[in-house]
Structure 1
Amino acid sequence: MRTLIATLALAVPLLLAGCSSQPPAPEQPGAGVEDRKPTTVTTPAVTPAVTTGAIDPYSIAALKDPKSILSKRSVYFDFDQFVVKDEFKSLLEAHAKFLVNNPKMKMLIQGNADERGSREYNLALGQKRAEAIKKGLLLLGAKEEQVESVSLGEEKPACTEATEDCWAKNRRGDMLYSGEF
């Protein structure tokens, strides 16, 4: 019992010494509250562009004209890749502009792969390639309802030789317009 009393006698002054004898710090003021009242925002009148939705026959002719960039319909990919290379950006821009100017036109993108890899892998890779082209077109202004993407995997080769040059021709995405699929 004596040890308990002695321990308490020593502990009480130590506990009291831990308490600061300094007065508490003054309370800091809180952050100010800004009074915000709703205001009306005026925006200038916007007149929508008038589109008839008709398909421009001159644009349609450009799809078949070998001198037009629109006659080029394939985007080629590196081995085992589905990123659109910089060299095909202008091609996507031209096709996106065509789709924007012809809102009734539809496009089917067929993703392809070379014969290497399993059937399932090539179908998945072909789909990723088609989706990469579709995403690029949508970012450039084409509408979702205008563009569909599918994978053909290795089922529609452009070339059948077992060479690197031939395989490179099969790693592609083909863009087909209404009436072509």
Structure 2
Amino acid sequence: MTSVKKITKRALYVPALLLLGACCTTRQPEPVPPPPPPAPVAPLGDIFFDFDRSGITPEGEAQLKQNAGWMVANTAKSVVIEGHCDERGTSEYNMALGQRRADSAMDAMVGLGADQARMTAISYGEEKPFDTGHDEAGWAQNRRAHFVEQ
């Protein structure tokens, strides 16, 4: 056989074999890897208040934005906002102040797009201190709105 005939024969057979091999393969295609998990959303955090105040501080606003983002990312969850106070003042006064703090935090969260129907605001006044110290450092830790995931 001449070399021209060999080349022509190969030119006809090679594409046919490639096509046949591609059609008759039993190999499964590679699975597509799953997409990466979504970026984690920071957990809920507390906000702190000045003495005898229920207004949100700039630091508190930053934490509330983070908490509102958590609520958007966790639509099946609800939140209880607990208002707390330090030990100074009467129990009655601190229960009312704790409620104002919890309500203030909830109103701010609603303003940031959180669903009010998934939040509850309650007051513990001075009854559940975070820090048992009897000084400004301890009291500052107890003047807070604490966010509890439900």
Compute the TM-score of the two structures, normalised by the length of structure 1: 0.59
Residue 176, structure 1, aligned to residue 148, structure 2: yes
Give the fraction of aligned pairs with identical amino acids, expressed as a percent: 36
The aligned counterpart of 1:113 is: 85
- Pairing partner for 1:127 from 99, 105, 118: 99
- Pairing partner for 2:123 from 151, 158, 165: 151
SS in 2 for 1:82: coil
SS in 2 for 1:149: strand
| Alpha-carbon distance, 1:161 to partner | 1.8
| Alpha-carbon distance, 1:100 to partner | 2.2
> Over aligned residue pairs, what C-alpha RMSD do you find?
1.7
Which ranges of 4 or more aligned residues in structure 1 deviate by more than 3 Å?
none
| Alpha-carbon distance, 1:96 to partner | 0.8
The aligned counterpart of 2:11 is: none
Residue 82, structure 1, aligned to residue 50, structure 2: no
The aligned counterpart of 1:30 is: none
The aligned counterpart of 2:76 is: 104
Amino acid aligned to 2:146: D
| Alpha-carbon distance, 1:58 to partner | 6.0
Unaligned runs of 5+ in 2: 1-36
Please list, as runs of the form range in 1=range in 2, the aligned pairs for 1:1-181 lying within 5 A after superposition.
62=41, 68=42, 70-71=43-44, 73-178=45-150
